[in-house]
Chains A and B, each alone.
Chain A
Amino acid sequence: MRRVILILVSMWIPLFLSGCWDQDLLREVRLGYGIGFDLTPEGKLFATLVVRDVPSGEQQKPIDDIFSATSRTPREARDKLDKKLSGRLRGYKYRVVLISEERAKQDIYPLLDVFYRDPKMPLNTRIAVVKGRAADVLFLRELGGTVPIAKGIDELIASEEELTSVPKINVRSICPVMLDPGEDFVLPYLMKKEERVEVIGTAMFHQHQMVGTLSPDESTVYLLLKGKKAELARFTRKVEVEGEREGESPSPYDFITIEVKKAKQEMNVLVNKQEKIKVQLNATWKVNVIEYPRDQLDEESNVAKLNKILSKDLTRLAKQTIQKMQKARCDGFGVGRQLIAFHPEVWKKKEKNWASEYQQVQFDTKVEVEITQKGIIN
C-alpha cells in the first residue's frame, strides 16, 4: 500500500514544481491564420501576418489583426513579427499562404521549407498566388464585410476547388510534385478586385518557379484532362448554330452551359525510334445540359450536332491550354514522370534539358463530348 501511495504522490510533485517541459498552453499563444509573402524593391522578403484575435465574450465575432515585417527569410520574418505581438506566435493553424506573383516567379521552396521542417506546422494549409501584392489582399481584413480575411480566402479557394477550377492541393501535396523533376503543378491564382478577392484562374509552375497563368476555363480543362474532376465542372460555350447574323452582339440563345458528369481520359506517352515523344490524350466527357434556351434537345439530330460542335470547341480549348503550358514549360501532365517510370533510358538522355525537350513534345489531343442528360425539359 505504501508503494501505491508513494507512486500516486510522486506523480503529482513534478506538476507543481516545474510545470511541464513541452507545455504550450492554448490560452497563451497567438494563432497565425494566414501569411502573405511579397518582394520588396530591394529584393527582400515582405511578410504580412494575419493573427486571429478571439474576444473572450460570448457571441462576439473574431477579428483578424494584420501587420507586416521585412526580412531575409520567412523564419526571420516570423521572429520579427513575433516581437510586435503580445503572447507567443504559433503557426500551427495557418489556413492560407499567399505568394505575390512577383515573389512566385522566384524559387518558392525556401518559403515553404519551415512548413516541412517544423513538426508543429500544419501541412494542410492552402497555398495560392496573388496577382499584385499579397499584403494588399490580406489588408482587406474582411471579405464582404463579415468573414475574416484568412478564413474567407480559405473558403473561397475551397469552393473553387469544388468547381474544378483550381486544383485540390495544399502545402503538403505540392511537395512531392515540386521536387520531382518529371512533373509540375499549378496553384490557384487570386486577384484583389475592388474590395473583394477573386479567383482568376491558376498559376503554372515549372520546378520551383511560377511561369505563367491559365484562365478559369483552361484550368478546368486541364484538371479534367488530368483526371482531377471535383464535384462540379461547368463550361459555358458559345455554340454557333445556323442562321446567326453577323455583326450583332451575341444573344443568350447562342450559348450553352454544360456540366461534365463523367470524365474519362487516357494519356499515352509514346516514344518513337528517333526518340521523339508523342503524347496521346483522349478524353470522353459525358455532360449534362443545364442551360440552353434554344431548347429542341428532343431531336436526335440536334443533340448530335451539339455533340459535334462542343467536341470540336473543347478540343480546341484543350489544345490551346496545352500549347500555353508547353510554352510556359509547365509539365502539368507529368509527361516526364511517365518517361522516368516507363522509358528510363530515354529520360536519362533528356533529363538535362527536359524543359526545352518538353516544349518539343507533340501532343495529340482529342476531347469527345456526349450529351447524356438535359434536365427536365427538352
Chain B
Amino acid sequence: MSFFRKLFQNNQQKTGQGNEIEVFPSLQKNIAYIQQWLFYTDDLKWRNIRFNGRDGVILYLESVADTKEIQAGVIKPIEQAKEGNITEIITAVDVKYERKLNAISQSLLQGSAVLLFDGIGEACLVQVVASYHRDVKEPDNEGVVRGAHGGFIENLSVNLFLVRNRLESQNLVVRYYQLGDATKTKVAVLYMQDLANPDLVKEVDHRLRSISIDTIISPGYIAELTENNPYSPFPQILFTERPDRTVAHLMEGRVAILAEGDPTALIVPVTLFAFYQTPDDFHSRWIVGSFIRVIRLASFLIAFQLPAFYIAVVSFHAEVLPANLIDTVKSSVERVPFPPILEALVMELTLELIREAGIRLPSRVGQTIGIVGGLVIGDAVVRTGLVSYPMVIVVSLTAISSFVVPSYEMSSAVRFLRFPLMAMAALFGFVGIVFGLLFIMIHLSKLESFGTAYLAPFIPLRIKDLKDTFVRLPIWFLNQRPHDPHPKRLNQERYSRGWEHDDQGEE
C-alpha cells in the first residue's frame, strides 16, 4: 500500500516539474495555454486592453473574481493612465509578478486577475477575489445565555479576524497549510508562541503535513486523519464555533486549527472535561457555575448508566428497591411482554430515530416529529402495555442528560456507549455494569489526545487542576493554567484582588 502511495506521489511531483513552463512571448499562445490548462472552462473570461503601447489581456475566472473590483481597481486606472509602471497605477492591494505559467493558472483559481502583455515574459497577478460571506452570528449549537454571541463563519479570513480581534498579541501565530490535493483547502493553525508547547506545535505540524488526500470537506476529515485513536468512541478533538472559546483555549496553550469554508475550529489537545465546559460557566457567578458544571458531569454518568442500571435492577436485583418503590415499579412492568433489554433497546432506538428525524427536517415539519414522537409514541406505547412507564422515564432522562453536554460529538459518544453497557447489564446485572464501566475507564485512561492524557487532571491525578474541572472555583483561585497541554508558562493570574489589602491600609 505504502509502496503505491510513494509511487503516486513521485509521479505527481514529476509531472509538476514538467509543467514548469515560463510565460511565452506571444499573447495568443499564453491564452491558449491557460485555456487548455483549465480545459476550456466557460467561466474563464478575458478582456483586451492596451497599455504602454502594447496589446494586453486581463484574464479572470468570473466565478471567483470580483468583477467590480477588476473594473475599479485594474481596468479603470489602466485606461486612465495609458502608460507608466503598472504596479504604481493599479489601485488594488495585492499585486505581484509571476513567470511560471503553471502558477499563473493556479492563481486564477484563487481569484486573481492576470495581466499579460504581448512580448513581456512576466504576468502581473492582481488579487481580486470575490468574497461572499454571511454575517457573524451566534452558532446554533453552542448558544450561551450571557457573553459574546459571535461565531465563526465559513470564511477563514473573517474567522482569523475574530480571533485576532480578541487576542491582540504579538504572540499569536498563524501558520497556513494547504490540504487536499484537489480541493487545496486553506487551513490555518493558530497558537500562542509564548504558551504552546513546541513539541505540541511540532506534532500538529507533523500530523497535518502527513495528510495526503484528494478532498478535505469538513473538519471531521482533519480530525479523523490526525486524532490518536480513531477506534475510540470518544472525540479527541474539540470542535467549536465560538471565537471566545477558541481564544480561551489558545490562552491555555492549546492549538487551534481553522479551515477555509467551515465555521469550526478544531482544538487540540483536549481532555474529557473540556467537552463539559462552556463559556457560560465563567459568565455566571462561580458558585452557580460550579453547580451547573457538577450537574453537567452528573448528567454524563446518568446518560450512559441509567438504562443499564434500570435493566440490572428489574431483571436481576429487584431487591435493591425499597418496599414502597417496588410496588410502583412492579405494577408498571407487569404487563410488558418483552424482556427489559428489548424494551430498552426499542425505546432507545426510537429516541435516536426521533432525534435524527428532527435534525434533518425543516423546523416547521420538525414540530410534527415532536408531537408524533412525544405524544403518540410515548403515550401510546405505555397505554398498550408494550413499554413500562419507568422505562419511558429512564429513556427520557437519559436523552435529556445526554443533550446537556455542550459538545454534540461528546453527546453522541455518550449515547452510543449506553448500548454495550445495557447489554452487559442484561447479561450480568451489576457485575456486568461494573466491568463495563471498568472497561470504559481503562479505555479512557489509555486514550491520549496529542500527547495529553484524556482524563487529565483526573488520571493522572493533579489536584491543582481539579479547581477548574469538576467545579469552577473563583477566577482568582486559578493562578495556574491547566497542566494538561504542558504550556510553557504556568502562571496566568497573579494578585488581582490585591486591592482588598490596599483598602484595609486606608482605614
| Touch A–B, Cβ below 8 Å | yes
Q: Is the CB of A25 within 8 A of B331?
A: no
Closest to B231 in A: A4
- Within the complex, the shortest CB–CB distance from A2 to chain B, in Å, comes to 10
Is B295 located at the chain interface by the 8 A CB criterion? no
Assuming the A-B contacts A22-B429, A27-B336, A92-B319, are A15 and B423 also in contact, with contact meaning beta carbons closer than 8 angstroms in the complex? yes
Q: Which residues of B sit under 8 angstroms from A52, Cβ to Cβ? A: 327
Q: Which residues of B sit under 8 angstroms from A22, Cβ to Cβ? A: 316, 428-429
What 1/0 mask marks residues of chain B from 319 to 349 whose CB sits below 8 Å from any chain A CB? Answer: 1000100110111111110011100000000
Q: Is the CB of A93 within 8 A of B231?
A: no
Is A55 located at the chain interface by the 8 A CB criterion? yes
Is A376 located at the chain interface by the 8 A CB criterion? no
Q: Is the CB of A20 within 8 A of B428?
A: yes
Q: Is the CB of A93 within 8 A of B336?
A: no
Which residues in chain A, 71-108, are within 8 Å of chain B measured between CB atoms? 90, 92-93, 95
- Name which of A6-14, A213-221, A288-296 contacts chain B: A6-14
- Within the complex, the shortest CB–CB distance from B11 to chain A, in Å, comes to 30
Tally of contact residues, B, Cβ under 8 A: 29
- Within the complex, the shortest CB–CB distance from B243 to chain A, in Å, comes to 35
Q: Is the CB of B423 within 8 A of A25?
A: no
Q: How far is the CA of A231 from the CA of B231 in the complex (A)?
A: 59
Q: How far is the CA of A31 from the CA of B231 in the complex (A)?
A: 46
Which residues in chain A, 12-35, are within 8 Å of chain B measured between CB atoms? 12, 14-15, 19-20, 22-27, 29, 31, 33
Is A301 located at the chain interface by the 8 A CB criterion? no
Q: Is the CB of B341 within 8 A of A15?
A: yes
Q: How far is the CA of A154 from the CA of B327 in the complex (A)?
A: 15
Q: How far is the CA of A154 from the CA of B336 in the complex (A)?
A: 30
Q: Which residues of B sit under 8 angstroms from A14, Cβ to Cβ? A: 427
> Which of A25, A62, A154 is B340 in contact with, Cβ under 8 Å?
A25
Q: Which residues of A sit under 8 angstroms from B327, Cβ to Cβ? A: 52, 54, 62
Q: Is the CB of A54 within 8 A of B334?
A: yes
What 1/0 mask marks residues of chain B from 277 to 318 whose CB sits below 8 Å from any chain A CB? Answer: 000000000000000000000000000000000000111101
Is A196 located at the chain interface by the 8 A CB criterion? no
Q: How far is the CA of A33 from the CA of B324 in the complex (A)?
A: 11
Q: Which residues of A sit under 8 angstroms from B424, Cβ to Cβ? A: 11
What 1/0 mask marks residues of chain B from 412 to 432 whose CB sits below 8 Å from any chain A CB? Answer: 000000001001101111000
Q: Is the CB of B315 within 8 A of A20?
A: yes
Q: Is the CB of B426 within 8 A of A27?
A: no
Q: How far is the CA of A245 from the CA of B329 in the complex (A)?
A: 63
Is A122 located at the chain interface by the 8 A CB criterion? yes
What 1/0 mask marks residues of chain A from 264 to 293 whose CB sits below 8 Å from any chain B CB? Answer: 000000000000000000000000000000
Q: How far is the CA of A102 from the CA of B40 in the complex (A)?
A: 110
Q: How far is the CA of A64 from the CA of B336 in the complex (A)?
A: 22
Closest to A92 in B: B319
> Which of A15, A25, A56, A90 is B314 in contact with, Cβ under 8 Å?
A25
Q: Is the CB of A11 within 8 A of B314?
A: no
Which residues in chain A, 122-181, are within 8 Å of chain B measured between CB atoms? 122, 151, 154
Q: How far is the CA of A54 from the CA of B389 in the complex (A)?
A: 15
Q: How far is the CA of A52 from the CA of B330 in the complex (A)?
A: 10
Q: Which residues of A sit under 8 angstroms from B420, Cβ to Cβ? A: 8, 11
Q: Is the CB of A54 within 8 A of B315?
A: no
- Residue from B330, B341, B385 having most chain A Cβ neighbours under 10 A: B330
Assuming the A-B contacts A15-B427, A31-B326, are A23 and B331 also in contact, with contact meaning beta carbons closer than 8 angstroms in the complex? no
Q: Which residues of B sit under 8 angstroms from A93, Cβ to Cβ? A: 318-319, 323, 326
Assuming the A-B contacts A11-B423, A31-B330, A54-B331, are A24 and B318 also in contact, with contact meaning beta carbons closer than 8 angstroms in the complex? yes
Q: How large is the interface on A (under 10, 10 to 19, 20 to 34, 35 or more residues)?
A: 20 to 34
Q: How far is the CA of A31 from the CA of B326 in the complex (A)?
A: 10
Q: How far is the CA of A104 from the CA of B333 in the complex (A)?
A: 39
Q: How far is the CA of A120 from the CA of B331 in the complex (A)?
A: 21
Q: Is the CB of A62 within 8 A of B331?
A: yes
Q: Is the CB of B316 within 8 A of A56?
A: no
Is A1 located at the chain interface by the 8 A CB criterion? yes
- Within the complex, the shortest CB–CB distance from B169 to chain A, in Å, comes to 43
Q: Which residues of A sit under 8 angstroms from B313, Cβ to Cβ? A: 26
Assuming the A-B contacts A31-B326, A54-B331, A56-B335, are A23 and B315 also in contact, with contact meaning beta carbons closer than 8 angstroms in the complex? yes
Q: Is the CB of A55 within 8 A of B331?
A: yes
Q: Is the CB of B319 within 8 A of A19?
A: no
> Which of B315, B385, B423, B428 is A26 in contact with, Cβ under 8 Å?
B315
Q: How far is the CA of A8 from the CA of B421 in the complex (A)?
A: 11
Q: Which residues of A sit under 8 angstroms from B339, Cβ to Cβ? A: 19, 23, 25
Q: Which residues of A sit under 8 angstroms from B331, Cβ to Cβ? A: 54-56, 62
Closest to B338 in A: A27
Q: Which residues of A sit under 8 angstroms from B316, Cβ to Cβ? A: 22-24
Q: Which residues of A sit under 8 angstroms from B423, Cβ to Cβ? A: 11-12, 15
> Which of A12, A20, A56, A95 is B323 in contact with, Cβ under 8 Å?
A95
Q: Is the CB of B314 within 8 A of A151?
A: no
Q: How far is the CA of A122 from the CA of B319 in the complex (A)?
A: 8
Q: Which residues of B sit under 8 angstroms from A23, Cβ to Cβ? A: 315-316, 339, 426
- Residue from B335, B424, B427, B429 having most chain A Cβ neighbours under 10 A: B427
Q: Which residues of A sit under 8 angstroms from B330, Cβ to Cβ? A: 26-27, 31, 54
Q: Which residues of B sit under 8 angstroms from A120, Cβ to Cβ? A: 319
- Within the complex, the shortest CB–CB distance from B390 to chain A, in Å, comes to 10
Closest to B424 in A: A11
Closest to A52 in B: B327
Q: Is the CB of B315 within 8 A of A56?
A: no
Closest to B336 in A: A27
What 1/0 mask marks residues of chain B from 332 to 374 whose CB sits below 8 Å from any chain A CB? Answer: 1111100111000000000000000000000000000000000
Q: Which residues of A sit under 8 angstroms from B323, Cβ to Cβ? A: 33, 93, 95, 151, 154
Which residues in chain A, 24-51, are within 8 Å of chain B measured between CB atoms? 24-27, 29, 31, 33
- Within the complex, the shortest CB–CB distance from A23 to chain B, in Å, comes to 5
Q: Which residues of B sit under 8 angstroms from A54, Cβ to Cβ? A: 327, 330-331, 334
Q: How far is the CA of A348 from the CA of B331 in the complex (A)?
A: 56
Q: Which residues of B sit under 8 angstroms from A8, Cβ to Cβ? A: 420
Assuming the A-B contacts A11-B420, A55-B331, A56-B332, are A26 and B427 also in contact, with contact meaning beta carbons closer than 8 angstroms in the complex? no
Q: Is the CB of B335 within 8 A of A26?
A: no
Closest to B427 in A: A20
Q: Which residues of A sit under 8 angstroms from B318, Cβ to Cβ? A: 24, 26, 29, 90, 92-93
Q: Which residues of A sit under 8 angstroms from B329, Cβ to Cβ? A: 26
- Within the complex, the shortest CB–CB distance from A142 to chain B, in Å, comes to 15
> Which of B314, B341, B427, B429 is A27 in contact with, Cβ under 8 Å?
B314
Assuming the A-B contacts A15-B426, A20-B427, A54-B327, are A1 and B315 also in contact, with contact meaning beta carbons closer than 8 angstroms in the complex? no
Closest to B422 in A: A15
- Within the complex, the shortest CB–CB distance from B450 to chain A, in Å, comes to 22
Q: How far is the CA of A26 from the CA of B332 in the complex (A)?
A: 10
Assuming the A-B contacts A56-B332, A56-B334, are A24 and B315 also in contact, with contact meaning beta carbons closer than 8 angstroms in the complex? yes
- Within the complex, the shortest CB–CB distance from A126 to chain B, in Å, comes to 11
Q: Which 6 A-B pairs have the closest CB atoms?
A: A92-B319, A54-B331, A27-B333, A26-B318, A56-B334, A26-B314
Can you offer 21 A-B residue contacts whose CB atoms are under 8 A? A1-B231, A4-B231, A11-B420, A12-B423, A19-B339, A20-B427, A22-B316, A23-B316, A24-B315, A25-B339, A26-B313, A26-B315, A26-B318, A26-B329, A26-B330, A31-B326, A56-B331, A56-B332, A93-B326, A122-B319, A154-B323
For the complex with contacts A15-B423, A31-B326, A56-B332, 11 further pairs of A-B residues with Cβ separation under 8 Å are A1-B231, A11-B424, A12-B423, A23-B316, A24-B318, A27-B330, A27-B334, A31-B330, A54-B327, A56-B335, A122-B319
